[in-house]
Chain A
Amino acid sequence: MEVERRSLREKQLAARDLLRGDLEGEDLERYVEERVLTTNFEKVLNVARANSIFPLTFGLACCAIEGIPMAAVTARYDIARFGAEAGRASPRQADLMVLSGRVSVKMAPVIRRLYDQMLEPKWVMAMGACSSSGGMFANYAILQGADKFLPVDIYVPGCPPRPEAVLYGFTKLQRQIMGNPDQGWRQRYGGYGTEEWARGGPRSEPSPEAARAYEEARELSLA
């Protein structure tokens, strides 16, 4: 349905007329058509998901000291602007796990367990050099990257990352969530069929729409 575009001033005048109760008939139809936007439920749901992420409040190492309070929750940088200020102390209520710091061999099973306890859909951000690649700790005690034991959606480099970098990574994650109804890593690693709701049921396959949305989101996030 084509709607003829009007200037902002004309729209404002129409709104004033509507509030006054003067808008009737064809003018009223036109007013409604100008303000209605059609989409599908999945897209709205993903917009809602992306803008109400509950991070899991836990820290691993120095990025938890430096990064999370400075980069996220303080008023100067304020992750509440992106709707993610409600940190959850229980993995059952959290959507996003921020791996803030090096992951030691002893800690990895604990983190994996926390990750498994989170409800789907869930996302993981590797914050800092250590959880992305092992960082400076090339030794027997530290895992060389958290993606050795759980799927990571977004990597934020830095030691520690600047607050801007963390928030930029977070907004990229949001775009990934909005662009793709599935999680990005499932597409990347071929992880379909591992969703909790699909266990024991038919194997889930990526729909062509999802695959296309993933490619679009990837282009967006690479742009």
Chain B
Amino acid sequence: MPDAPGLELIRGEIERDRPGAVLATSYDRAQAALLVDPARVIEVLSWLRDQPGHRYDFLSSLHAADYLPNEPRFGVHYELINRGRVERVRVKTMLPDPGGEELPEIDSCVELFPTAEAQEREVFDFFGIVFRGHPNLTRILMPDDYVGWPQRRDFPIGGEPVTFTYTEQRYD
């Protein structure tokens, strides 16, 4: 894990090679994260993967989160590991909600990290984030004919209301 000055050094090097790609950094609870422009996330990922001296060449996880009241709404997170030094760095991008039926889009990183294939499908399945250039972007866990993006915060939780003794009073 790069410490806070180390993270700033990484940011400075990326700024030198790819100016304007990294928007901010955060170092919280010993976790280093780079906040990246979503249009340029592939540049930053390939830089981190291939730059001699850094070589964060293993994508351990790719996931999304819905920060609904906030804007931009969707976050796509990439967890990268340098396996030699066992150092981790997180790349975050924030995607705005285009609204209506349109889905937010971001470039796919399957070319860089083949392991992202299934994980991007999962993110698409649950959040409706489209990864441009993905070889087979279909639902992976939910049924193919399922309608909606169930892990979004504005998706109804489903199930049936259950009356407990403490909720019974309300229906009197």
Contact = CB atoms under 8 A, between A and B. Distances in A.
Contacts of A109: 143
Interface residues of A, number: 11
Given A105-B143, A106-B142, A141 B150 contact: yes
A139 interface: yes
Contacts of A41: none
Which 4 pairs show the lowest CB-CB distances between chains A and B? A138-B159, A140-B158, A140-B150, A106-B143
Interface of A: 105-106, 109, 134, 137-142, 144
A144 B158 CA distance: 9
A141 B142 contact: yes
Interface string B34-66: 000000000000000000000000000000000
A106 B162 CA distance: 23
17 contacts: A105-B143, A106-B142, A106-B143, A109-B143, A137-B159, A138-B157, A138-B158, A138-B159, A138-B162, A139-B158, A140-B150, A140-B159, A141-B142, A141-B150, A141-B158, A142-B159, A144-B160
Contacts of A138: 157-160, 162
B155 interface: yes
Contacts of A144: 159-160
Contacts of B141: 106
Chain B interface size range: 10 to 19
B171 interface: no
Contact of B157 (A105, A106, A134, A139): A139
B156 interface: yes
Contacts of B160: 134, 138, 144
B159 A105 contact: no
Contacts of A142: 159
A105 B162 CA distance: 20
Contacts of B146: 105
Given A140-B150, A141-B150, A134 B142 contact: no
B159 A134 contact: yes
Contacts of B157: 138-140
Given A137-B159, A139-B159, 18 more contacts: A105-B142, A105-B146, A106-B142, A134-B160, A138-B157, A138-B159, A138-B160, A139-B157, A140-B148, A140-B150, A140-B155, A140-B157, A140-B158, A140-B159, A141-B142, A141-B150, A142-B159, A144-B160
